[in-house]
Amino acid sequence: MKKTTIKSILLYAAALVGLAVPTACEDEITPPPEVKTFTVSVQLVYPDGFAPAADVRVVLRNIATGAVDEAFTDADGVAAFVVIAGIFEATASEERADALYRYLLNGAAGNIVVTEAWTNDPPVDITLTVTPVAKPSEGDASPYGKLVIKELYIGGCQKDDGSGAFQRDPYIVLYNNSTQPAALEGVAFSTCFAHNAHGTNYFFVDNALIYAADNWLPASYGAWYIPGRDTLAPGEQIVIAMNAAIDHTGVYSNSINFASPDYYVAYHPESGYSNTTYHPAPSEVIPTSHYLRAIRLAGVTANAWTFSVNSPAFFIFLPRDNVSLIDFSAAPENIILHSSTGSASQGAIKVPRTWVIDGIEVFQEDRIADSKKRMTADIDVGYIPFTNSYGHTLYRNVDKAATEAILGNAGKIVYDYALGWEESTDPSGIDAEASIRNGAHIIYKDSNNASNDFHQRSRASLRP
């Protein structure tokens, strides 16, 4: 009896061990895989009238890991990379000039899938698009001709009671970077889906944006636009509070005081954005003519317009050819949904890219590896990393040469800029805000590449 019992136990134990062992041993005996590399050649394809050039910087980014590599073109416009298998996107930016114009050349190629089957033949083409920027006429210092996003403050700041971040104080600063007055009427802004760069992006299909080859950008949930007929003189700016346009500093000393008659505010409770926590009545000193109007799309259920606090793809645009944005966004054919559930709450306007004035792509600094670009190369070929919750802001870099070229700036420019965050700073070394307070006229850099055009500033410019 005893023998049988012991035998049974042994048999049973053996059966159990047999079930368990294969999974346990697999990891131990599998040799490390051999690292195999592949060459990826990238050919820059120039528009008519532009010859290939050497030493143009090309950036290759692994979209799964966020790892970035760079290489420079040869005389034929080809840059070569050596990589391990993965899925990549490549971007390139170049600037040329002639007597009348500066030409911004930007391009990107996505969905470069490198596997065992990779042959590198033909090379990957990056088709560059050209944005001509008229050079200033004599006595006119700015090489640029449009409104720019000068600052994007989105991440909030720390509360005074130590309970975390206060993030209902986002704002943007639009700046007339040109030499001509800029009309503000109808200027609109929005952000692309996905809300956060590292969030699920249903417009990113087969490793590419579905609108990359079409002429539109998604304006998530709708847009805000400026209804008044104000005009912005060269070197002037407007501040738009995106949520609560009040003096926050009485409760949150690290925040912003928006109680200024010069400021604008995204406030339109009748649109359905009636959440008084995000959209309280603006400060009474702000004239109602400075209230922006909302286009809130059908199906949007949120009663507050909220910004990504860490990684938006923000852009400003102006409808052209006398198209009404209200009518345009009311037409179903101009709407697309960004959702996996069939919910209409994730609608977006398909804004024609020819309407877009400026854009900025932001990635959360510690989520770059799983972030996906939402801006197309013709709007913003790069991205700017950002850390939220600590009062940081994204601030445009100064075009040093153009700013210094303005005769009236002599002696007014303040150098030794020290408000960058860690390694991110303005390479011009110019403290733009201090210079402006000193009476200088600043010209900001605008190459449609946030990686080059912006830096992370440790303090919002509106904070004293």
Subset of 194-213 contacting other proteins (CB under 8 A): 202
Taking the C-alpha atoms of residue 203 and residue 74, their distance in angstroms, rounded to an integer, is 34
125 forms beta bridges with: 43
How far is 169 from 129, CA to CA, in rounded Å? 36
Q: What is the separation of C-alpha 56 from the centre of its chain, rounded to a whole number of angstroms?
A: 23
With CB under 8 A as the contact rule, which of the stretches 42-50, 130-138, 163-171, 450-458 interacts with other proteins? 163-171
Q: Indicate which single residue of 32, 250, 411, 464 sits in contact with other proteins (rule: CB under 8 A).
A: 250
* Strand pairing report for 356-364 and 384-386: parallel
Q: What gap in Å lies between CA 237 and CA 254, rounded to an integer?
A: 23
CA distances from 306 to 110, 312, 420, 441 (A): 29, 11, 26, 33
**Strand blocks (E) in 145-196:** 147-153, 157-158, 165-166, 171-176, 182-183, 188-191
The token pair that represents 80 in the structure block: 């070569």
The conformation of residue 320, written as its DSSP 8-state character, comes to: -
Based on CB atoms, which residue is closest to other proteins, 210 or 436? Answer: 210
3-state secondary structure of 11: helix
Residues 313-332 that bind other proteins (CB under 8 A): 326-327, 330-332
Q: Exposure of 196 by Cβ count < 10 A (0-12 exposed, 13-18 middle, 19+ buried)?
A: buried
Q: Does 259 bind other proteins (CB under 8 A)?
A: yes
Q: How far is the CB of 87 from other proteins (least distance, A)?
A: 16
Exactly one of 27, 138, 270, 321 binds other proteins (CB under 8 A); that residue is 270
Q: Which x/- pattern, by CB under 8 A, does the window 230-249 give for other proteins?
A: --------------x-xxx-
Left (φ > 0), alpha (ψ -120 to 50) or beta: where does 6 sit?
Answer: alpha
Quick check: 287 binds other proteins (CB under 8 A)? yes
Neighbours of 202 (CB within 10 A): 15
Specify the residue, 196 or 271, whose C-beta has the smaller distance to other proteins. Answer: 271
Q: Does 341 bind other proteins (CB under 8 A)?
A: yes
Residue in 91, 93, 106, 346 binding other proteins, rule: CB under 8 A:
346
Nearer to other proteins, 77 or 170 (CB): 170
Interacting residues of 334 by C-beta distance below 8 A, sequence separation 6+ = 328, 349, 350
Give the residue with the Cβ less far from other proteins, 18 or 33: 18
- Name which of 115 and 119 has its Cβ closer to other proteins: 115
Q: Which of residues 9-38 bind other proteins (CB under 8 A)?
A: 9, 11-12, 15-16, 19-20, 23
Of 271, 364, 371, 435, the one binding other proteins (CB under 8 A) is 271
The residue within the footprint of other proteins, chosen from 70, 125, 160, 366 (CB under 8 A), is 160
Interaction with other proteins in 372-431: which residues (CB under 8 A)?
Answer: none
Q: Judged by CB under 8 A, which of 134, 165, 344, 414 binds other proteins?
A: 344
At its nearest, how many Å lie between other proteins and the CB of residue 412? 34
